[in-house]
């Protein structure tokens, strides 16, 4: 049996070790950050931006927790749609379409993207700019880049975020977003910002945080640059014939609409499919089910480039449909 003094000394050793762990982690992060500063300067980011923007960057334990967290439950497609495409969101989206009609039409004319899809994406991503995330983006990205699980990806995003600050588009202290670094009213990652953000009003800044002109144009530019077709919609709900299996459908099972018509696929009211000479696939977002099912076109695949989720892409399409139905 250990003597009391031995037990006491062992306990003190444990306490000391636990106390030293955060200090060691902080030292490790600072050393990592110093190397990042060097890399940022080597990439042409000004010393003033590097010093100022990274001065208060610290690891955020909550970011790691969110990155690691496994969902407690998985929403069914019906539950997801009920949560995302709500009557309140539809009403609010129709109001925003009317309120910003002239600007949206101007952007639509320039980029070839229908206003209802711009507003639908805006609504689903941030509830029309209401919820854009409260995490300091530079600290969130630094946390994930230092963590090691996807360090290369987030290190690149962090350096690109610094270039956004260096370009004068936003102050580092104002760069807020999601825990994963998605920013602004359209939730662009820094790489998407560099590829698609637009200074639509010509004020010298690509402001996706507060400037709706830039927000709308950046959304439209993303879709247009990803292959959007203004002469097409996203898809439509359909009913499948008896005997069709999940093996016959899916994003990669594309064929002419006329071939789906011949197979017995119809609109949900029983009428014939459109007669346009377009390639289409059928998706049934709910795993293991054949209903609801949707005949989807090129623009559905473009929405998937924004977010690789059939739930998300279908929700954007359905919300856009309901916005259009409101006139």
Domain map of the chain by residue range? 26-74+133-183, 235-325
- Which helix H or strand E contains 256, and what residues bound it? strand 250-256
Alpha-carbon span 121 to 320, nearest angstrom: 8
Alpha-carbon span 179 to 23, nearest angstrom: 24
Choose among 32, 52, 40: nearest CA to 159. 40
Q: Tell me the C-alpha to C-alpha distance, in Å, between residue 151 and each of 2, 22, 68, 135, 257.
A: 45, 20, 14, 19, 44
The CATH architecture to which 26-74+133-183 belongs is Orthogonal Bundle (1.10)
In terms of Cβ atoms closer than 10 Å to its own Cβ (0-12, 13-18, 19+), residue 56 is exposed
The helix-helix angle for 87-99 and 115-126 (nearest 10°) equals 130
Choose among 30, 53, 46: nearest CA to 174. 53
Half-sphere exposure of 170 (CA within 13 A, CB side): 25
pLDDT averaged over consecutive 10-residue blocks of the chain (327 residues)? 49 46 70 97 98 96 88 82 97 98 98 98 98 97 93 97 98 96 98 98 97 98 98 98 95 97 98 96 95 98 96 98 85
Q: What is the pLDDT of residue 12?
A: 47
CB 277 within 8 A of CB 256: yes
Kind of pairing between the strands at 250-256 and 235-239: unpaired
For the chain, report the end-to-end CA distance as a whole number of angstroms: 83
Extract the tokens encoding 136. Answer: 């300091």
User: CB 188: neighbour CB atoms within 10 A?
Assistant: 26
Alpha-carbon span 324 to 320, nearest angstrom: 6
Kind of pairing between the strands at 176-177 and 135-136: antiparallel
Q: Could you identify the residue written with the tokens 């699980």?
A: 149
The pTM score is 0.90
Q: What is the pLDDT of residue 69?
A: 81
Q: What is the pLDDT of residue 24?
A: 57
């Amino acid at each position: 049996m250990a003597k009391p003094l031995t037990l006491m000394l062992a306990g003190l050793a444990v306490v000391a070790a636990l106390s030293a762990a955060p200090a060691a982690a902080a030292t490790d992060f600072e050393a990592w950050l110093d190397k990042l500063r060097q890399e940022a300067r080597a990439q042409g980011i000004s010393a003033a931006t590097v010093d100022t923007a990274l001065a208060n960057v610290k690891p955020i334990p909550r970011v790691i927790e969110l990155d690691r967290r496994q969902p407690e439950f998985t929403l069914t497609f019906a539950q997801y749609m009920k949560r995302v495409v709500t009557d309140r969101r539809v009403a609010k989206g129709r109001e925003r379409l009317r309120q910003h009609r002239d600007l949206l039409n101007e952007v639509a004319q320039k980029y070839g993207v229908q206003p209802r899809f711009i507003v639908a994406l805006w609504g689903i991503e941030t509830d029309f700019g209401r919820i854009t995330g409260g995490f300091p983006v530079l600290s969130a990205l630094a946390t994930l880049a230092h963590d090691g699980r996807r360090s290369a990806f987030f290190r690149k995003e962090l350096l690109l975020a610094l270039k956004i600050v260096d370009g004068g588009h936003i102050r580092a202290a104002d760069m807020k977003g999601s825990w994963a670094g998605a920013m602004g009213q359209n939730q662009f990652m820094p790489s998407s910002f560099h590829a698609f953000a637009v200074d639509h009003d010509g004020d010298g800044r690509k402001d996706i945080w507060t400037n709706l002109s830039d927000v709308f144009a950046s959304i439209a530019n993303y879709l247009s640059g990803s292959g959007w077709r203004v002469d097409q919609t996203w898809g439509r709900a359909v009913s499948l014939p008896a005997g069709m299996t999940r093996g016959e459908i899916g994003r990669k099972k594309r064929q002419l609409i006329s071939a789906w018509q011949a197979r017995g696929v119809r609109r949900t009211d029983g009428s014939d499919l459109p007669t346009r000479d377009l390639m289409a696939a059928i998706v049934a977002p709910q795993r293991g089910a054949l209903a609801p099912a949707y005949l989807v076109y090129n623009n559905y695949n473009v929405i998937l480039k924004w977010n690789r989720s059939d739930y998300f892409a279908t929700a954007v399409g359905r919300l856009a449909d309901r916005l259009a139905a409101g006139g």
